[in-house]
Amino acid sequence: MQADPERFGGRSPFLAYWISRALTARAARHFSSIRWSGERPSPHPGQGVIFYTNHPSWWDPALFALIQSRFFPDRPGFGPIDAAALARYPLLRKAGFMPVDPRSLSSIRDMIRSCRAILSTGGIFWITAQGEFTDIRRRPVSLRPGIAHLALDSAEAMIVPVALDYCYGTEARAEASIRFGKPLSRAELGATRPEVHHRLETELEATLEALIHDVAHRRLDQFKTLAKGRAGMGGLYAVLQRIVAMMKGQKYEPRHARR
């Protein structure tokens, strides 16, 4: 591993910061709110973390960037991306995206070695473990084999299932919801790769079910706000709302439902 872990694999701390800012700002504009629930992970100093998630949307990396910047600003974040996609958007390498060819065993081995090096210095590794866009309600939860290999090779890391969901509620823009599952250690997962793989699927499915239940029943008291986005209809409707509020001597409130 090179001397500066923040620059591993060609990552640029400067560009990673600004690309992360751009992603999080875009997410805040797109969603009415971004909320989280569950047990916020608290790794020991120097302990690496693997966050493995479901993959419901194009927006997932933006949520990763937001979580990383709010909860782990002093730790470099990395994650795999299809090598063909990175060839089209090479700047993403500077943000910590690392190329992998899912059809190449040597490429997968290289990724595992890179992940090991990142985790050994307290870095964070994000992976959409389903490997393709998948509806949050699809059952059983099925993960690609790579996550089990990563977990088997990460004896000291904290391994955390993360559930993501996007849905429409009382606002014109969607709400993004995040749930952290129970942090796991390598020792808890099992002795063989099939055992580890099954346990990882089981834990992510349980985390998804808990998130789905809270979102479906509007249990907003279970969530904390990660980012408050744009609310209300905008345009002429918003102007009329402002006029009515002013005439009544009330504070303008664009949201349709009070949180």
Answer yes or no: is pLDDT of 181 > 50: yes
Report the pLDDT value the prediction gives residue 239, as an integer from 0 to 100. 55
- Mean pLDDT for 56-82 is 94
Kindly list the structural domains of the chain, giving each domain's residue range(s) and its CATH number in brackets, ordered by start.
5-228 (3.40.1130.10), 232-259 (no CATH)
* Residue 49 bridge partners (DSSP): 124, 158
Percent of the chain predicted with pLDDT > 70 = 88
More confident call, 169 vs 230? 169
Closest CA to 161 of 199, 109, 134: 199
| DSSP single-letter state for residue 32 | S
Report the pLDDT value the prediction gives residue 103, as an integer from 0 to 100. 84
Give the contacts of 191 (CB within 8 A, at least 6 positions apart).
none
Helix H or strand E encompassing 68: helix 60-71
Give long-range contacts, CB 8 A cutoff, 24+ apart: 141-144: 141/54, 141/201, 141/204, 141/205, 141/208, 142/201, 143/52, 143/197, 143/200, 143/201, 143/204, 144/102
Report the pLDDT value the prediction gives residue 240, as an integer from 0 to 100. 59
Taking only the tens place, the pLDDT of each residue in 201-237 is: 999 999 999 999 999 999 999 999 998 866 554 555 5
Answer yes or no: is pLDDT of 255 > 50: yes
N- to C-terminal Cα separation, the chain? 47
Beta strands in 129-202 (DSSP E): 158-167, 175-180
Answer yes or no: is pLDDT of 144 > 70: yes
* Residue 227 bridge partners (DSSP): 34
Report the pLDDT value the prediction gives residue 105, as an integer from 0 to 100. 87
Confidence of residue 1 (pLDDT cuts 50, 70, 90): very low
Q: What is the pTM of this model?
A: 0.86
Report the pLDDT value the prediction gives residue 230, as an integer from 0 to 100. 66
Mean pLDDT for the chain overall: 88
Helix orientation angle between 60-71 and 13-30, rounded to the nearest 10 degrees: 120
Q: Which amino acid is at 9?
A: G
Report the pLDDT value the prediction gives residue 259, as an integer from 0 to 100. 44
Give the contacts of 93 (CB within 8 A, at least 6 positions apart).
9, 10, 11, 86, 99
- Of the candidate ranges 51-65, 85-99, 138-152, the one whose mean pLDDT is the lowest: 85-99
